[in-house]
């Protein structure tokens, strides 16, 4: 009990510390490249958290870029056609993504893990194909279309305003997901994930909750997509690419699957590594290193970096035993 309280207090101070750093960071940097990077990182934290929410209900999607892209396209098109501010259309676009999420969820709810992975992967490709074929008159096909900026570049210091807007939305999204995970809904999600039969016996309707997970996750992913596109100012069908579907998975696995802090830690750590390697002049080998990190994490740290404090003593213990074995000294407890 005491331990838990102590841990909670720790967590609270760490959270406040991280938010404080995020708030003052732009004043320390004075560098537009890094500021842009921070904004994108925040957007990817939202995206990874959205993927994480779906995985929390036991459904691992391989095509989450579909929702990212649908949110982005919907928000852009609404903003362009009606002239409403992107601040409003972000949430409208995300609602469209959530609606599509429910539709694809309807086909997925009865499927096992990797059938679902296949369908979601294929869904991203189908959406991309539709975007560049039937919907070309609206979406501009492979060339893409310009998207209104979140803040007009005419305003001085617009990058700062944009950064703080994204930060606010990111914090709101994480709090939203945290609230869901801690509520009855989150409890139902993890019950379904652990054992569907028992969950059903306890009165949890798996189909309904899986659909809900799809809708919520698609909504948050749609917000991330719309934010990214309004931040960059241009959208192409590349947003549906395999690459963008795989990144959130890498981030979440590294940070810790099914936790609130996992996506945040994973995204920050991997972005720092990624940019560090870029500065060191790596190109293709960056991906190789990310792949090795991912595989090592899955094998040796299955619960992600969040679990590192618990794992370290075990590793030290194992190392000590190993050393004891080599030198032949008797083990003492």
Q: Which CB sits closer to another protein, 41 or 94?
A: 41
Looking at residue 239, the DSSP 8-state letter turns out to be G
Q: Can you tell me which residue has the tokens 């929702």?
A: 67
Q: Which CB sits closer to another protein, 302 or 324?
A: 302
Q: Which CB sits closer to another protein, 113 or 205?
A: 113
For position 123 contacting another protein by CB under 8 A, the verdict is yes
For position 325 contacting another protein by CB under 8 A, the verdict is no
Q: Can you tell me which residue has the tokens 């209900």?
A: 57
* All residues at 6 or more sequence positions from 89 whose CB lies less than 8 Å from its CB, including other chains: 74, 75, 76, 78, 79, 82, 226
Q: What are 200's two structure tokens?
A: 């059903």
Q: Which CB sits closer to another protein, 48 or 174?
A: 48
For position 244 contacting another protein by CB under 8 A, the verdict is yes
For position 143 contacting another protein by CB under 8 A, the verdict is no
CB of 290 to another protein, least distance (A): 6
280 Cα distance to chain centroid? 26
Q: Which CB sits closer to another protein, 110 or 184?
A: 110
For position 284 contacting another protein by CB under 8 A, the verdict is yes
Query: Looking only at residues 184 through 243 of this chain, which bind another protein when binding is defined by CB under 8 A?
Result: 232, 238-239, 241-243
Q: What are 145's two structure tokens?
A: 């279309």
For position 118 contacting another protein by CB under 8 A, the verdict is yes
For position 62 contacting another protein by CB under 8 A, the verdict is yes
Q: Find the farthest-apart pair of alpha carbons in the chain and give their distance in angstroms, rounded.
A: 78
Q: What are 4's two structure tokens?
A: 């838990």
Q: Which CB sits closer to another protein, 10 or 287?
A: 287
For position 302 contacting another protein by CB under 8 A, the verdict is yes
Q: Which CB sits closer to another protein, 219 or 247?
A: 247
Cα 313 from Cα 15, distance rounded (Å): 24
For position 11 contacting another protein by CB under 8 A, the verdict is no
Closest by Cα among 288, 266, 267 to 277? 288
* All residues at 6 or more sequence positions from 120 whose CB lies less than 8 Å from its CB, including other chains: 61, 62, 63, 64, 66, 104, 108
CB of 113 to another protein, least distance (A): 4
58 Cα distance to chain centroid? 16
Looking at residue 329, the DSSP 8-state letter turns out to be P
Q: Which residues bind another protein (CB under 8 A)?
A: 37, 40-41, 44, 55, 60, 62, 107, 110-115, 117-119, 121-123, 125-126, 128-130, 132-133, 232, 238-239, 241-244, 246-247, 249-250, 253, 271, 274, 278, 284-288, 290-295, 298-299, 302
């Amino acid at each position: 009990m005491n331990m838990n309280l102590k841990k909670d207090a720790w967590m609270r101070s760490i959270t406040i510390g991280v938010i404080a750093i995020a708030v003052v960071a732009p004043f320390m940097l004075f560098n537009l490249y890094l500021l842009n990077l921070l904004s994108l990182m925040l957007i990817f934290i939202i995206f990874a958290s959205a993927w994480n929410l779906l995985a929390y209900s036991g459904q691992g999607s391989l095509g989450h870029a579909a929702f990212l892209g649908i949110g982005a396209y919907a928000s852009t098109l609404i903003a362009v056609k009606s002239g409403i501010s992107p601040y409003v259309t972000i949430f409208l676009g995300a609602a469209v993504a959530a609606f599509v999420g429910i539709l694809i969820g309807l086909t997925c709810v009865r499927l096992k893990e990797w059938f679902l992975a296949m369908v979601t992967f294929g869904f991203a490709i189908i959406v991309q194909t539709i975007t560049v074929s039937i919907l070309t008159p609206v979406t501009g096909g492979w060339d893409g279309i310009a998207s209104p900026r979140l803040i007009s570049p005419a305003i001085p210091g617009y990058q700062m305003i944009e950064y703080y807007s994204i930060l606010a939305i990111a914090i709101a999204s994480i709090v939203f997901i945290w609230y869901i995970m801690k509520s009855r809904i989150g409890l139902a999600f993890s019950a379904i994930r652990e054992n569907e039969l028992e969950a059903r016996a306890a009165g949890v309707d798996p189909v309904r909750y899986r659909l809900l997970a799809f809708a919520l996750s698609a909504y948050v992913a749609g917000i991330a997509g719309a934010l990214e596109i309004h931040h960059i100012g241009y959208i192409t069908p590349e947003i549906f690419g395999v690459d963008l579907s795989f990144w959130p998975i890498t981030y979440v696995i590294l940070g810790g699957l099914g936790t609130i802090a996992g996506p945040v830690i994973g995204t920050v750590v991997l972005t720092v590594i990624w940019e560090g390697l870029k500065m060191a002049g790596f190109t293709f080998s960056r991906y190789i290193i990310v792949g090795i990190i991912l595989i090592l994490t899955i094998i040796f740290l299955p619960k992600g970096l969040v679990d590192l404090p618990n794992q370290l003593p075990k590793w030290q213990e194992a190392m000590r035993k190993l050393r004891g074995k080599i030198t032949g000294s008797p083990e003492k407890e």
